[in-house]
Every structure is written in C-alpha cells, then in structure tokens.
C-alpha cells in the first residue's frame, strides 16, 4: 500500500530572530509571526499531500519559556491533523528536553516518544501496517549517549527511526553523537533526523537518512539562510521509499547573503544599480516571501573612499526602497570588501620597485617561453618539499602571472593601487 510521510524538524516555535540590526516595525512583526506561519504551512502540506504520518524530529520549542500563543497554535494544528487521520510522532531534542516538561496536551493522534528507551509504534490503515516508527527523546539538554545504537527493527512495514542527533557535523553541538555507520547498522529503512539546521541527505537507498533543516530560518548567518521547509516521502509499506525525499519550502521569510562584484562600476549609482539587480534576483527566487538580505561588495572600485564614507546612506536607501515592495525586501547590512583599482600607468612612471615589477610582468607576457621556464623551475623546487604542488594543473601560466603581479603591486603600493 502506498502512503506519504512528512518529515520536519527544529521548528523553534515563537522564538525571535537573532543577529539582525534594527528593523522596521513591519519587518519586526513579520519576523515574530514567521515560525508560527511556517508551522501552519506544514499542517497545510500534510493535508494537501494526504500524508499518513508527520515526523517532528526535535526542538519543536526553543526552550522552557513557551508562549501561550505558540502552544495554542501547535495544538490546534495537530488536532486538525489528527481529525484528518494524520498520525504525528514527536521526539524532544536539546532545546525542548522532557525534563523541561512536554507542554500542554498535544492533541489526539500525536505520540511523544519517551527518553528512557526506544519505543516502537505501528501505523495501521485498513488492516495494513504501513510503518513502524521507532524513536527516543532527550531527557536532559545535554544528551551524550549514542542513541542510534539503541535502535532495532521490529514490527511490520517501513522501519522509520526518529531521532534528534549529531551525525558527525562539527558545526553543531555534539548531542547524541553517532556516525553514518551507526545509522547503516541499525536496521532502519529511513532515518528522520533533527538538530542540524541545514538540509542534508546523508544516506541514499539502504537505508535513507536525512536532515530536513529548520522549518523557518531565524538568522542571516550559518545554516539559517536559503530555502527552509520539510521533506515529503513517497512510500510503499513493503517496497520502502519509492523515490528520494522531496523538499517543499515552507518558510515565510527567507534569509539570504549576496556577494556582488562592482568591479569597473564608474560611480556609486552604478554600484547601487548592481546591488539592486542582485536583490531583485533574490526576490524573484524567494517566490513571494519576505526577504532579509546581507550583501558583501567585492572588486576593484574607483571611488572606494566615497563608498566607505556613504555606506550608511546607501544602506538606508536600499531599505526604504525594499520596504515599498510587496513582499518586502529588508537590507540588513552591507559588508564592503572592495579595493581601489591598480593604476598601472601611474606606477610605470614612478621609477621605483613597483615600476620594475610591472616592467618584468610586461616582459614575461611578451616572452611566454621565459614564463614557462620560471614555472617549471618553481615546480621542481616545490617537489623537494612535502607539500602538494600548487601550480601543476591549477591555473594557466598567464593567469598565475596576473595573480602574482596583483599581489606584488598591492604589497608595494600599500594596497591602494597607487
């Protein structure tokens, strides 16, 4: 029998976004509602897909301070799913361990896994066991056991392991640490994981293992940027997953970081035009969501001093224009990594060491055989040391010359290109 499963994790309901500068009141209100609106979208997704099972892999809440409105919205959504025949399975993670309390009643059709041992719950429809869901919750915030080694297959149907854990990700706290080999050896058909905020498919085929990532991004940095949402599994009770997990974006506000090259722009207006074009492309990709942007400007830019001086004015102009759009685009910060272009003609007339470097570079461009001999000698010299050859197969000789010339001239001119 075919059926669908929806896998979500790390909802962090009703928690504030972090790492942002001051925002407008309208943006602040949208950010406050984003996680709850994303959960409403998750409920709608389960109903639209006619899912049999919803898996919530930990950190439904962000901590013990749980707002009443979040509790009410969560219960109402789960009650709606239960009335439609959707079974919801929940494990608690490091942000919402059972020692902090499970919260108010979760609604009919919802099962909360215990913390002492792995429990196994069958899901039956019309006399057929579609799946057996195995899971274990965190009792305390710091769970250091390898929970994956406690899982064993049992019962009928698709064997699903529901777990909040760190599978070898150094960027996240090492709670419930385990390895990919631990997952392979546990006998599950699908591992529904939580804890890592960036979407990842760890194993394909036998078994499958995936992190869906957070449901709604909360910060313009790290794993919170980009599309966020849930995974949909198309399954058969005897054949397992029929295709790879399908991602569905459910975030209401999207965080993105942009890198905008303004090399060759003649003035601030042209640089601003490039920023706005990059922002418009990100807005179109967000497909009707509010957008929080951070941009890094790079490249050689003539009026760099003016850019530095008027950075705040540029940011304010972008913010005002973005608020006038529906949905909004909020520019949170600009990071200037530009530099003044190298003025080669001025350097040539300087009669100093920088002029000699530029003259030698010009000579090597005119004598490619000499350049090749220099690089060959350098490769042979590097071969004497226990380091990887940085030249062979990496970059063409003329590109290496440009790079070397750039480095030398900036060092000799103090970095301002003059």
pLDDT in tens, 263-302: 999 999 999 999 999 999 999 999 999 999 999 999 999 8
Tell me what the pLDDT averaged over the chain comes to.
Answer: 90
Instruction: State the average pLDDT over residues 39-66.
Output: 92
More confident residue, 350 or 304: 304
The Cα–Cα gap between 4 and 158 comes to 11
Residue 104 clears pLDDT 80, i.e. is over it: no
Residue 181 clears pLDDT 80, i.e. is over it: yes
Please tell me the predicted confidence (pLDDT) of residue 418.
Answer: 55
More confident residue, 270 or 386: 270
The Cα–Cα gap between 390 and 379 comes to 8
Residue 416 clears pLDDT 70, i.e. is over it: no
Please tell me the predicted confidence (pLDDT) of residue 386.
Answer: 62
The Cα–Cα gap between 107 and 68 comes to 15
Question: Token pair for residue 344?
Answer: 């080669």
- pTM, two decimal places: 0.84
- Closest to 275 (Cα-Cα) out of 293, 253, 301: 293
- Structure confidence at residue 62 as a pLDDT band (50, 70, 90): confident
The Cα–Cα gap between 102 and 375 comes to 66
Please tell me the predicted confidence (pLDDT) of residue 78.
Answer: 95
Please tell me the predicted confidence (pLDDT) of residue 388.
Answer: 52
Residue 383 clears pLDDT 60, i.e. is over it: yes
Please tell me the predicted confidence (pLDDT) of residue 34.
Answer: 94
Please tell me the predicted confidence (pLDDT) of residue 140.
Answer: 92
The Cα–Cα gap between 92 and 123 comes to 20
Please tell me the predicted confidence (pLDDT) of residue 349.
Answer: 77
- Structure confidence at residue 415 as a pLDDT band (50, 70, 90): low
Instruction: State the average pLDDT over residues 161-182.
Output: 92
Please tell me the predicted confidence (pLDDT) of residue 65.
Answer: 67
The Cα–Cα gap between 135 and 269 comes to 57
Q: Where in the chain is the domain with CATH 3.60.21.10?
A: 2-249
Task: Please say whether the structural domain 2-249 has been given the CATH code 3.40.50.620.
Answer: no
Please tell me the predicted confidence (pLDDT) of residue 390.
Answer: 52
- Structure confidence at residue 184 as a pLDDT band (50, 70, 90): very high
CA distance to 279, 382, 395, per residue, from 387 (Å): 42, 7, 17
Instruction: State the average pLDDT over residues 27-49.
Output: 95
């Amino acid at each position: 029998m075919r059926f669908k499963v929806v896998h979500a994790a790390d909802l962090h309901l009703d928690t504030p976004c972090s790492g942002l500068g001051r925002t407008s009141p309208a943006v602040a209100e949208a950010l406050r509602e984003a996680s709850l609106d994303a959960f409403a979208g998750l409920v709608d997704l389960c109903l639209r897909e006619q899912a049999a099972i919803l898996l919530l892999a930990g950190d439904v809440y962000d901590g013990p301070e749980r707002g009443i409105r979040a509790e009410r919205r969560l219960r109402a959504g789960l009650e709606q799913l239960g009335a439609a025949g959707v079974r919801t399975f929940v494990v608690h993670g490091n942000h919402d361990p059972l020692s902090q309390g499970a919260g108010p009643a979760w609604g009919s059709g919802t099962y909360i896994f215990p913390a002492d041992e792995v429990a196994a719950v069958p899901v039956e429809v019309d006399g057929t066991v579609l799946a057996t869901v195995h899971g274990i919750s965190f009792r305390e915030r710091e769970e250091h056991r390898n929970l994956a080694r406690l899982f064993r297959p049992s019962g009928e149907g698709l064997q699903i392991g529901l777990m909040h854990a760190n599978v070898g990700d150094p960027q996240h706290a090492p709670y419930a640490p385990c390895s990919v080999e631990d997952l392979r050896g546990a006998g599950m058909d699908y591992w529904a994981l939580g804890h890592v905020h960036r979407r990842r498919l760890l194993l394909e085929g036998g078994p499958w293992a995936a992190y869906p990532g957070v449901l709604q991004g909360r910060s313009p940095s790290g794993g919170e940027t980009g599309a966020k949402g849930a995974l949909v599994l198309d399954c058969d009770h005897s054949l397992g997953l029929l295709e790879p997990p399908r991602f569905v974006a459910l975030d209401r506000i999207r965080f993105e970081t942009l890198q905008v090259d303004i090399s060759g722009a003649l003035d601030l207006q042209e640089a601003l035009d490039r920023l706005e074009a990059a922002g418009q492309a990100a807005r179109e990709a967000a497909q009707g969501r509010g957008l929080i942007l951070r941009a890094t400007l790079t490249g050689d830019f003539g009026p760099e001093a003016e850019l530095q001086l008027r950075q705040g004015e540029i940011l304010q102009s972008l913010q005002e224009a973005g608020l006038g759009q529906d949905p909004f685009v909020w520019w949170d910060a600009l990071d200037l990594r530009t530099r003044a272009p190298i003025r080669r003609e001025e350097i040539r007339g300087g009669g100093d060491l920088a002029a000699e470097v530029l003259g030698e570079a010009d000579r090597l461009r005119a004598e490619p055989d000499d350049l090749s001999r220099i690089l060959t000698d350098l490769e042979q010299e590097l071969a004497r040391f226990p380091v990887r050859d940085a030249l062979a197969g990496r970059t063409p000789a003329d590109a290496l010359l440009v790079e070397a010339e750039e480095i030398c001239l900036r060092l000799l001119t103090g970095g301002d290109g003059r």
